[in-house]
Chains A and B, each alone.
Chain A
């Protein structure tokens, strides 16, 4: 993932140390850049499900 603020690339799964201190961390939908702290919205579960469903549907079509 590339931070849109400072341009640094990082792995989405790397949890920022500050996040554990945040009171809103449990339900947080943002990925925090470990360099500058900028928050990038992670894709919502609903959207992910829709996109994966569409992707699978297209793949099935292609395989046919």
Chain B
């Protein structure tokens, strides 16, 4: 332990050239670097601030076989592309201190994730020895690493250690003693098969940059070029003289125009692919009873025969938690007890006392006031429903069920002309349709983008609306079942028809499936909190704004006129004319409209067939103003107008037909 030892604190004034061989320890935080450093150096170390920073760097000496080495323990580093000051210091030491050996220490449990930095160090042409530490813990969770095979694949010395027990520390010293550098000259291309090859466009840009990157360090030109492509300001600033800055800017700009995704991401993706390749045959996992159980459960979720009943079970649990507990128990408490008995009477009395003009009173209280309508809807109706939905969604997300659901519906999607990738925006739509529309741009063909946007606008309820729908259907599972069947039917029908009308190819999609896991309370809590906070901040101003619009509409008489007009189609659907108000709210946001329907249901005006018809019609509306503007932005005004002119009449036609069919069949809900 460092605090038990003699630590000499000095201020470093700079790095001195010395003949002693330097060994630099690098790695992510908590991989046991310092324990290895202590095991190698013994009792005497210097801890000093790196020049110009407050970052501490520890230095010590190691003697082995009569030879002395200087060991430097660097701060934790996740990548050669630095984000924190600690990472910047570590990179600076690596690039400037001319190390004889770089000991890259990694955690055996996270071999796949940590090899990415090894690849970056090798790309930089540094003399790397890979130290796989904490192997005892990896063995305990059933992981076994074939070090020899990895050594063969990487072409560098690899050793497995348990530094806390000093296991394999002496062999490590021997490796250090016998290490023979096989370093290439800095301007020689790193063309090893063990290193990632990037997209053609990126490789071309690297070649162009290599002409600019000269002999300033011993780091490979390829690594420097890669850092420049990732807009590393520190590296770019070293090559700013003459016309280099403009040339660099132009190379990056040209490349960004050629590729659609971010460069740091594409580069790290290739590295991940390479590390996966390296781990093949190197990393074996002993399947425990828990692993086998997870595998079986995963297969149940994906298989079409077992997957659909499993999905129905998930929906049922969701319904019980959100629709029954959230929407009945919690809403009842907040709306009737808190708002009904305390807040609304107190605020109404207060406003009426201090504001003598009824017109202004109506803005804040009474039927459509900001507080009695806007805030009540947001806090007493939407908040408990959405919060319970987000809790359930975070649990589902944390278990790893979502990608399996994507795989399950992928087969279905292919039948309606969409590829598996389109599953992502559709599934995301259940969270927020606005964001999901934006994600459709990741789809490869224009055809897929349009079909997905139509389906999102039409048949996918967002989380807020989903919660309110579950709440509306609470106590009537048959009504919920009818709604689900109708929505699935419309989704498939429109998807199928759109795929026929809009011709095009069907590209392939690949996705990695993360393992199933038990949800962690901390994750569920933070995700739910963040989502509720975000949602509340977004909807509250909109609900208040809607209340103001309604107040203005009532002042000018426009509100009553629109309601009068809407009463006709609403009554045609077999709904009470009072529901016209909820449909007007629905034009602002579907969940605002759904909250209006909830109000009607609570007062006994909406139940049975009219309830299912109203909910179905409202679900088919455009979700909200934000989603509409996103659709215009993504698909253009013309396509969006065509969609709108289709969606609203279509919603009413479906509602009308559903009402007629259900009455004709004599369905009792």
Contacts and interface: CB of A to CB of B under 8 A. Distances in A.
A46 B537 CA distance: 14
B262 A15 contact: yes
A13 B262 CA distance: 12
Interface string B567-580: 00000000000000
B511 A17 contact: no
Interface in B244-269: 260-262, 264-265, 268-269
Contacts of B403: 4-7
B303 interface: no
Q: Mostly helix, strand, loop or mixed at chain A's interface?
A: loop
Given A6-B512, A21-B633, A36-B511, A41 B438 contact: no
B526 interface: yes
Interface stretch (B209-217, B424-432, B585-593, B646-654): B424-432
A53 interface: no
A56 to B, nearest CB: 17
Interface in A1-28: 2, 4-11, 13-18, 21-24, 27-28
Given A36-B424, A39-B435, A27 B537 contact: yes
B533 interface: yes
Interface in B429-456: 431-432, 434-435, 438-439, 441-442
Q: How large is the interface on A (under 10, 10 to 19, 20 to 34, 35 or more residues)?
A: 35 or more
Interface in A31-47: 34-39, 41-44, 46-47
A30 B463 CA distance: 15
Interface string B401-425: 0110010000000000000010011
Contacts of B424: 5-6, 36-38
Contacts of B530: 29, 41-44, 47
B51 interface: no
Tell me the interface secondary structure of chain B in the complex: helix
B538 interface: yes
B352 interface: no
Q: Which of B261, B264, B438, B629 has the most CB of A within 10 A?
A: B438
A17 B442 contact: no
B304 interface: no
B262 A2 contact: no
Contacts of A2: 514
B287 interface: no
B398 A41 contact: no
A9 to B, nearest CB: 6
B630 A11 contact: no
A36 B166 CA distance: 43
Contacts of B484: none
Contacts of A4: 397-398, 400, 402-403, 514
A8 B533 contact: no
A24 B626 contact: yes
Contacts of B397: 4
B264 A14 contact: yes
B78 interface: yes
A61 to B, nearest CB: 16
B79 interface: yes
Interface of A: 2, 4-11, 13-18, 21-24, 27-30, 34-39, 41-44, 46-47
Kindly list the 10 A-B residue pairs having the minimum CB-CB distance in the complex, ordered from nearest: A37-B439, A41-B530, A34-B265, A7-B514, A7-B512, A29-B534, A44-B530, A41-B527, A36-B424, A37-B442
Interface of B: 78-79, 83, 113, 260-262, 264-265, 268-269, 272, 397-398, 400, 402-403, 406, 421, 424-425, 427-428, 431-432, 434-435, 438-439, 441-442, 511-514, 526-527, 529-531, 533-534, 537-538, 626, 629-630, 633-634
16 contacts: A2-B514, A6-B511, A7-B511, A9-B113, A9-B272, A13-B83, A14-B265, A16-B262, A18-B438, A24-B435, A24-B626, A36-B442, A36-B511, A41-B527, A41-B534, A43-B530
